[in-house]
């Protein structure tokens, strides 16, 4: 190997050491021992081996890289045994798993969430069993809730039935009781993934009214057969998660990418786009695909799609009104030819 190639190989190896060391640091911080001091000590020891590896690469000494390789092997063995679980002390709002019974077009859903939220931390838990007829699915809406600036939004999908009912599916972080979600921690198996099916008076209202996030609702142009296929894809995902839990991942397994995976199976050739990662721009992506009301410019569609004021005004004595779903849709633009749910 020539001198130039040797230097290049050492540079690449050094970058690889830094990459592995950086990932290991995040893993140890978010999934290491509960004792903070012990986590810091382990991270310090981990970086000592990484620095030894870098020093060995610079000095052409094999001992340092060998030490880091052994540390890396130990890390890989530890990391591989951290698996998603379903038996942890979960936060109340993700405590139960959606269970599905299917009998042709008739579907019975167990553990549909319908909490009464007064504030973010003050609520009355309520889990329900509900029956739905998939032949009565008539429309689907996208709900985008902005909680950390214009780039990142939590996306929810709401299905409308001919009898006026709405059911929302939301891919969420399954947090432990008392635990706060970290987007960085979501890269390091901090939390499991949950699929929540909920009433709009719960899962939409808690964001508009209890949390005061900026929430937008967009009517989506989708044929009825595709709406049903998407609903059934959610049911398939619920079945899978009930028996095989998985980790939430901030980039690859989140509230937007999982929905894209389901829709892609229904709409072959659906293009990937950077706005699937920058989920706050997802409505613009759908607009460019012609899936929203393109008779209005995007800015006007967004302005009219903000539902916060309507949601808050619909409350009765601090509780969700029975016509919450109707209230947040009054005057909402819809793509030409889209079915409109009855009041």
Q: How many C-alpha atoms does 286 have within 13 Å on its Cβ side?
A: 26
pTM over 0.75: yes
- Assigned domain for 194 exists: yes
Considering the domain architecture, whether residues 132 and 276 belong to the same structural domain is answered as yes
Q: How far apart are the first and last CA of the chain?
A: 76
Q: Return d(Cα 7, Cα 279) in angstroms, integer.
A: 41
What is the total count of domains within the chain? 2
Q: What's the confidence (pLDDT) of residue 342?
A: 44
Considering the domain architecture, whether residues 107 and 187 belong to the same structural domain is answered as yes
Considering the domain architecture, whether residues 106 and 218 belong to the same structural domain is answered as yes
Considering the domain architecture, whether residues 14 and 123 belong to the same structural domain is answered as no
- Assigned domain for 202 exists: yes
- Assigned domain for 86 exists: no
Considering the domain architecture, whether residues 192 and 171 belong to the same structural domain is answered as yes
Domain end (from 32, 51, 80): 80
Considering the domain architecture, whether residues 266 and 135 belong to the same structural domain is answered as yes
- Assigned domain for 339 exists: no
- Assigned domain for 139 exists: yes
- Assigned domain for 333 exists: no
Considering the domain architecture, whether residues 18 and 113 belong to the same structural domain is answered as no
pLDDT tens for 55-72 read 999 888 889 999 999 999
- Assigned domain for 335 exists: no
- Assigned domain for 337 exists: no
Indicate the Cα dihedral angle 170, 173, 175, 179, nearest 10°: -120
Q: What's the confidence (pLDDT) of residue 338?
A: 61
CB-based contacts of 148, cutoff 8 Å, min separation 6: 183
Q: Are residues 253 and 193 in contact, defined by beta-carbon separation less than 8 angstroms?
A: yes
Q: Which residues of the chain have pLDDT under 50?
A: 341-343
Q: What's the confidence (pLDDT) of residue 341?
A: 46
**Structural domain that includes position 12:** 3-80
């Amino acid at each position: 190997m020539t001198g130039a190639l040797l230097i290049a190989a050492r540079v690449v190896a050094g970058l690889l050491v830094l990459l592995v060391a950086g990932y290991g640091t995040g893993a140890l911080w978010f999934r290491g021992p509960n004792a903070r001091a012990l986590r810091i000590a382990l991270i310090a020891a981990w970086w000592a081996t990484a620095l030894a590896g870098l020093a060995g690469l610079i000095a052409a000494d094999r001992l340092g890289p060998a030490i880091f390789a052994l540390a890396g092997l130990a890390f890989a063995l530890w990391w591989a045994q951290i698996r998603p679980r379903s038996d942890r002390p979960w936060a109340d709002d993700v405590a139960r798993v959606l269970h599905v019974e299917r009998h042709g077009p008739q579907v019975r859903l167990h553990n549909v969430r319908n909490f009464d939220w007064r504030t973010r931390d003050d609520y009355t838990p309520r889990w329900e069993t509900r029956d739905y007829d998939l032949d009565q699915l008539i429309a689907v809406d996208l709900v985008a809730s902005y909680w950390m600036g214009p780039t990142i939004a939590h996306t929810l999908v709401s299905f409308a039935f001919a009898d006026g009912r709405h059911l929302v599916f939301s891919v969420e972080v399954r947090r432990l009781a008392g635990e706060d979600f970290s987007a960085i921690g979501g890269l390091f198996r901090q939390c499991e993934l949950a699929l929540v099916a909920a009433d709009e008076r719960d899962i939409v209202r808690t964001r508009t009214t209890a949390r005061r996030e900026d929430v937008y609702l967009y009517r989506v142009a989708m044929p009825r057969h595709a709406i049903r296929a998407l609903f059934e894809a959610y049911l398939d995902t619920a079945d899978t998660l009930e028996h095989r839990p998985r980790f939430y991942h901030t980039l690859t397994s989140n509230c937007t990418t999982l929905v894209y995976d389901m829709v892609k199976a229904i709409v072959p050739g659906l293009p990937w786009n950077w706005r699937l990662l920058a989920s706050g721009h997802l409505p613009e992506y759908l607009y460019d695909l012609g899936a929203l009301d393109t008779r209005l410019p995007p800015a006007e569609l967004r302005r009219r799609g903000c539902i916060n004021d309507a949601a808050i005004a619909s409350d009765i004595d601090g509780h969700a009104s029975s016509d919450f779903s109707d209230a947040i849709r009054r005057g909402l633009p819809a793509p030409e030819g889209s079915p409109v749910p009855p009041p």
